[in-house]
Chain A
Amino acid sequence: MHLLAMRQHGQAEFVEQQFIGILDHPVESSGVLRYDAPDRLEKRTLKPHEESLVLAGGVLTVERGRSRRVLDLHAYPQALPFVESIRATLAGDRAALERVFRLDFTGDLAHWSLALVPLDPRMAKSVAEVRIEGTQDQLLKVEIRQPDGDHSLMTLRPLAAP
């Protein structure tokens, strides 16, 4: 946590797979994830469609083609665990994580794993558990499980900071 908190910014390529019950095979997307301490997280999807998702100061801005939508995470608790889990972990902000999730940290510095379970029942309706794996101050995998069995797996490959 402390190591993570020291990082000011980072950038990683990601590949995300969504396993959705109704679909025969997973939907895959990829792009770049960028973080600036303490509370700005940008997920720029390049494939299959360009999309930008910026979390800054508790407000989520989704831009896609010509449409732009702004969501206040306070008003949409169901969307909160998807982004806050990654943001607070990157920020090394244990207090913020504990406000939203029950934490379970296992492993050692070389290979750690963090299991997050939402506390708020409204959030639990959309997310059952978030598992984050990493090494040192790098995130490697983010897995989000939904209560209906659907889940997503994001694999990260760190890029040198620009």
Chain B
Amino acid sequence: MSRRSLVLGVWLGCMVLAAIIVARARYIADLSAFLPAHPTPTQQLLIDQLRDGPASRLLFIAIERADSGTRAQIALAMAVQLRRDAQFSLVNDGEPVGLEQDREFLFGHRYLLSDSVTAQRFSAAGLHAAIQDTIDNLASPAGLLLKSLLPRDPTGEFPHLLDQLSNASQPSSNDGVWTSRDGARALMVVQTAASGSDTDAQERAIASIRNAFAVSSRVSPERAGAQLRLSGPGVFAVMARAKIKTAVVRLSIASSALVVVVLLTVYRSVPALILGLLPVTTGALTGVAAVALAFGAIHGVTLGFGITLIGESVDYSIYFFVQSRRPQPGTQSLAWQRLWWPTIRLGMLTSVCGFASLLPSGFPGLAQLGLYSISGLIAAALVTRYVLPSLLPRGFSIHDLGPFGAGIARLLRPLREHRGLVIAASVAAALLAVTTLYQHRATLWNRELSALSPVSAADQHFDATLRADLGAADTMDLVVVSAPTLDAALRGAEQAGAALRPLIEAKAIGGFDSPVNYLPSLETQKARRDSLPDAATLSADLRRASAGLPLQSERLLPFVTDVEAARQAGLLSRRDLQGSSLGAAFDALIMQQKDRWNALLPLHAAAPGQAIDTARVIAALKLARLDEARVLDLKQESDALYSSYLAEAIHLSLAGFGALIVLLAVALRSLSRVARVLAPLALAVLVVAAALAACGVQLTILHLVGMLLIVAVGSNYALFIDRQESLHEAGGEPLTLASLSIANLCTVIGFGLLSFSQVPVLVALGTTVAPGALLALLFAAALSPRESHA
């Protein structure tokens, strides 16, 4: 077997293997690319909340346009249809639906559920006070509605229970359904049965909602004028996935097409084009396969970054074709291998150095990008070195680029003739950039996770408006009580509740929800049941209690019967709540993590828009010695998380840069050459960062990655120009300049297109690398010390 067929065989075998891996890989598109791979327990809780927590399963429905009555009719019809759909565990449009069943449950178990049930309350004095209070309540129209319950519930446990549950402020209503505060839209909230991270299920649920709206708005012409708008985490996840998908597909097609046009124009040869794309496709395929093997699943965003590889790996074949078109006929490949392969190899290694610094990142998105780029670049370079020469057809030639390169050299000549001026200008640009960056130092980095969200600011604002209207705005602060069993968690929640109650009086918080409002711990239930007196005692006490009251104790016989029944009844368990909206509310406040149970107590602000003083909450819990209770500020926690990853990425990038310097120093064996290679790169990075800051763009982790890419791509340019100088070869420079310009054009096209996508992470990358790569080449060419030979 010849060496040629061996090389081709190995290459083809690898490609088939990679294709199989890529075809069988799993692709994911949720926010988890930006969540840590090895979280601490608090972070895990946060991630579970974001991915699967009750809040992640909420979808907000708004019906706009048309008049208020029509909107309400549509909402009511939709609610009927959605309630029949098993995809939704809860459908709430403000109707008192399910209230009857819930009321029966609450009324039937009022002596276990009400926190005012104590032995003292059932003494003669306690009964007297409670009954007096209930009679006073009858004077109000709200009390009048409860009049019929008086003989059975003279102590008012049931109305107290309703108060206990309606802690949160209710949204306003109009025409029988919830409406926004400005009255412009009818509102509904649904909770999906599937978790928020199940994007497919969320997509199906959203389709069902749209369908329900379409069905109910078809009924009459005035209904047809209404408009549906959706929001919530599931909507965002589906939107983000669709956006990333279309962006990746569209951008790959567009940049491939443009690169093909450029290459065809340059080579004027179809075989050259096909051969030129081989390193690119090999690199992309290898990169995806490597990520699939190492991570198990590929993030959609990683594929988006993949486009960027088109821009860099196409460079290798360009260098190969253009450089191998040397004056000595018949020896092109050999000359290329001797003269230029070491430079390409060094350029590839510097890129790998940069990307390797991403590998240890705890941010799966970055680690995947690192691995993808490293494996892709190595594969592309190897294909260029070993496969392409074997595939060159006899008599292969491309269009002569000498004149083109000479033209570029002419353009550069004025710069080179005034080298002192160019250096002065560069130094000035660097100083200006540093000054700008220094001025923006406080706001240079965006430390909020939402900066990476593919959801537009307008959509985020709409979501915030709906949440505010629905009173779901301030569920970002939680007290979490963790325990090994559900009952222990409930006991902890009761203790935490007792510690929090003084804070309501002090107006530090407005209130809080607690799972124990729906299901108290067994201990508490038992204590309440034990505090109920037997029938004889109760009757006697009632006779004494009714002295001075307008209510004869004989009329309260149903009360005595009910209390006796409660004394004999069993305690409530989670099973008793199942299937009711009370059960759904309870489940929303309980989370199970492996062998731990967490009770969630969402805190409400004392006034709308007011921040919750978490320090006081922590102090109150500490005072009560509740070690298993923690305060979780979801937004702060997730931002802190992102901030720590940003800091980590900055350190890793600096380390990568350091490694790159060492690599260059070893390969070039000259500090001044290292400085000449690095200066254009550093200048390009500085100027781009300063320009972004000056335009008011806050840098994110993706801008950082972009800077790394500038160094990775730009190092090739600087190294080639450096190599050209060291060759002292007359007439060679135009070819080098031509190949670099074409490679640069392809890179700028690939990354430039990213800036037009709707996905912020891709935009960040595009707007950094496209100008950065251009600047890197310009600086490298302008700063090269030698007079032009052209």
Binding site for B on A (CB under 8 A): 16, 18, 20, 22-25, 27-29, 45, 48-49, 51, 53, 58-59, 62, 64, 67-72, 74-76, 78-79, 82-83, 126, 150
Residues of A close to B173: CB separation below 8 A:
59, 70, 72, 74-75
Q: Which partner residue on chain B sits nearest A31 by CB separation?
A: B139
Interchain CB contact under 8 A, B141 and A79: yes
> Given A29-B139, A45-B139: A72 and B174 within 8 A (CB)?
yes
> Given A58-B174, A67-B163: A83 and B141 within 8 A (CB)?
yes
Q: Can you report 30 residue pairs joining A to B where beta carbons are below 8 Å apart?
A: A16-B139, A20-B138, A22-B151, A23-B550, A23-B551, A24-B551, A27-B135, A27-B138, A29-B139, A48-B139, A49-B136, A51-B140, A53-B140, A59-B172, A59-B173, A62-B141, A67-B166, A69-B142, A70-B172, A72-B94, A72-B174, A72-B175, A74-B173, A74-B174, A74-B176, A75-B94, A75-B173, A75-B176, A79-B142, A82-B144
Interchain CB contact under 8 A, A72 and B150: no
Extra A-B contacts (19), CB below 8 Å, given A48-B136, A70-B170, A72-B94 = A18-B138, A18-B139, A22-B151, A27-B135, A27-B136, A27-B550, A48-B139, A49-B137, A58-B174, A62-B142, A67-B166, A69-B170, A72-B172, A72-B174, A72-B176, A75-B176, A78-B145, A79-B142, A82-B144
- CA of A51 to CA of B555, assembled, Å: 28
Interface of B is mostly: loop
- CA of A69 to CA of B173, assembled, Å: 12
Residue in B95, B145, B169 whose beta carbon sits within 8 Å of that of A68 in the complex: B169
B552 at the interface (CB under 8 A from A): yes
B327 at the interface (CB under 8 A from A): no
Residues of B close to A67: CB separation below 8 A:
163, 166
Residues of B close to A16: CB separation below 8 A:
139
- From B138, B175, B555, name the one whose CB has the most chain A CB atoms within 10 angstroms: B138
Q: Which partner residue on chain A sits nearest B175 by CB separation?
A: A74
- CA of A59 to CA of B94, assembled, Å: 13
Residue in A22, A45, A48 whose beta carbon sits within 8 Å of that of B551 in the complex: A22
Residues of A close to B551: CB separation below 8 A:
22-24
Q: How far is the CB of B416 from chain A (nearest CB, A)?
A: 77
Q: How far is the CB of A14 from chain B (nearest CB, A)?
A: 11
Task: Flag B161-172 by CB within 8 Å of A: 1 or 0 each.
Answer: 001001001101
Residues of A close to B141: CB separation below 8 A:
53, 62, 79, 82-83
- From B173, B551, B552, name the one whose CB has the most chain A CB atoms within 10 angstroms: B173
Residues of A close to B172: CB separation below 8 A:
59, 70, 72
B393 at the interface (CB under 8 A from A): no
- CA of A69 to CA of B168, assembled, Å: 10
B673 at the interface (CB under 8 A from A): no
- CA of A58 to CA of B551, assembled, Å: 35
Q: Which of B147-167 contact A (CB under 8 A)?
A: 147, 150-151, 163, 166
- CA of A55 to CA of B318, assembled, Å: 78
Residues of A close to B138: CB separation below 8 A:
18, 20, 23, 27
Q: How far is the CB of A29 from chain B (nearest CB, A)?
A: 4
Interchain CB contact under 8 A, B145 and A79: yes
- CA of A130 to CA of B163, assembled, Å: 30
Residues of B close to A22: CB separation below 8 A:
147, 150-151, 551, 555
Q: How far is the CB of A65 from chain B (nearest CB, A)?
A: 9
Interchain CB contact under 8 A, B174 and A150: no
Task: Flag B75-119 by CB within 8 Å of A: 1 or 0 each.
Answer: 000000000000000000011100000000000000000000000
Q: How far is the CB of B129 from chain A (nearest CB, A)?
A: 13
Interchain CB contact under 8 A, A25 and B550: yes
Q: How far is the CB of B667 from chain A (nearest CB, A)?
A: 74
Q: How far is the CB of A125 from chain B (nearest CB, A)?
A: 11
Residues of A close to B139: CB separation below 8 A:
16, 18, 27-29, 45, 48-49
Q: How far is the CB of B668 from chain A (nearest CB, A)?
A: 75
- CA of A130 to CA of B144, assembled, Å: 15
Residues of A close to B555: CB separation below 8 A:
22
Residues of A close to B166: CB separation below 8 A:
67, 69
- CA of A70 to CA of B172, assembled, Å: 7
Q: How far is the CB of A40 from chain B (nearest CB, A)?
A: 15
Q: Which of B674-733 contact A (CB under 8 A)?
A: none
Q: How far is the CB of B342 from chain A (nearest CB, A)?
A: 78
Q: How far is the CB of B1 from chain A (nearest CB, A)?
A: 84
Residues of B close to A48: CB separation below 8 A:
136, 139
- CA of A160 to CA of B555, assembled, Å: 44
Q: How far is the CB of A6 from chain B (nearest CB, A)?
A: 28
> Given A45-B140, A75-B173, A79-B141: A23 and B135 within 8 A (CB)?
yes
- CA of A18 to CA of B95, assembled, Å: 30
- CA of A76 to CA of B144, assembled, Å: 13
- CA of A136 to CA of B341, assembled, Å: 106
Q: Which partner residue on chain A sits nearest B163 by CB separation?
A: A67
Q: Which partner residue on chain B sits nearest A72 by CB separation?
A: B173
Residues of A close to B147: CB separation below 8 A:
20, 22, 150
Residues of A close to B174: CB separation below 8 A:
58-59, 72, 74
Residues of A close to B142: CB separation below 8 A:
62, 64, 69, 71, 79
- CA of A152 to CA of B551, assembled, Å: 18
- CA of A58 to CA of B175, assembled, Å: 9
- CA of A68 to CA of B142, assembled, Å: 11
Residues of B close to A76: CB separation below 8 A:
96
Residues of B close to A72: CB separation below 8 A:
94, 172-176
Residues of A close to B550: CB separation below 8 A:
23-25, 27
Interchain CB contact under 8 A, A64 and B140: yes
3 A-B pairs with least C-beta separation: A72-B173, A29-B139, A24-B550
- CA of A59 to CA of B137, assembled, Å: 21
- CA of A22 to CA of B558, assembled, Å: 13
Q: How far is the CB of A42 from chain B (nearest CB, A)?
A: 13
Q: Which partner residue on chain A sits nearest B95 by CB separation?
A: A75
Q: How far is the CB of B66 from chain A (nearest CB, A)?
A: 17
Residues of B close to A58: CB separation below 8 A:
174
Q: How far is the CB of A81 from chain B (nearest CB, A)?
A: 10
Q: How far is the CB of A23 from chain B (nearest CB, A)?
A: 4
Q: How far is the CB of B144 from chain A (nearest CB, A)?
A: 8
- CA of A79 to CA of B138, assembled, Å: 14
Q: How far is the CB of B78 from chain A (nearest CB, A)?
A: 17
- CA of A24 to CA of B150, assembled, Å: 14
Q: Which partner residue on chain B sits nearest A150 by CB separation?
A: B147
Q: Which of B543-592 contact A (CB under 8 A)?
A: 550-552, 555
Q: How far is the CB of A22 from chain B (nearest CB, A)?
A: 6
- CA of A79 to CA of B145, assembled, Å: 8
Residue in A25, A62, A150 whose beta carbon sits within 8 Å of that of B140 in the complex: A62
Q: Which partner residue on chain B sits nearest A77 by CB separation?
A: B176
Residues of A close to B136: CB separation below 8 A:
27, 29, 48-49
- CA of A24 to CA of B554, assembled, Å: 12
- CA of A76 to CA of B99, assembled, Å: 12
Interchain CB contact under 8 A, B170 and A75: no
Residue in B96, B144, B145, B163 whose beta carbon sits within 8 Å of that of A75 in the complex: B96
Residues of B close to A29: CB separation below 8 A:
136, 139-140
- CA of A64 to CA of B166, assembled, Å: 14
Q: Which partner residue on chain B sits nearest A61 by CB separation?
A: B172
Residues of B close to A71: CB separation below 8 A:
142
Q: How far is the CB of B163 from chain A (nearest CB, A)?
A: 5
Residues of B close to A24: CB separation below 8 A:
550-552
Residues of B close to A62: CB separation below 8 A:
140-142
Q: How far is the CB of A12 from chain B (nearest CB, A)?
A: 17
Q: Which of B399-452 contact A (CB under 8 A)?
A: none
Q: Which partner residue on chain B sits nearest A64 by CB separation?
A: B140
Residues of B close to A20: CB separation below 8 A:
138, 147
Q: Which partner residue on chain B sits nearest A25 by CB separation?
A: B550
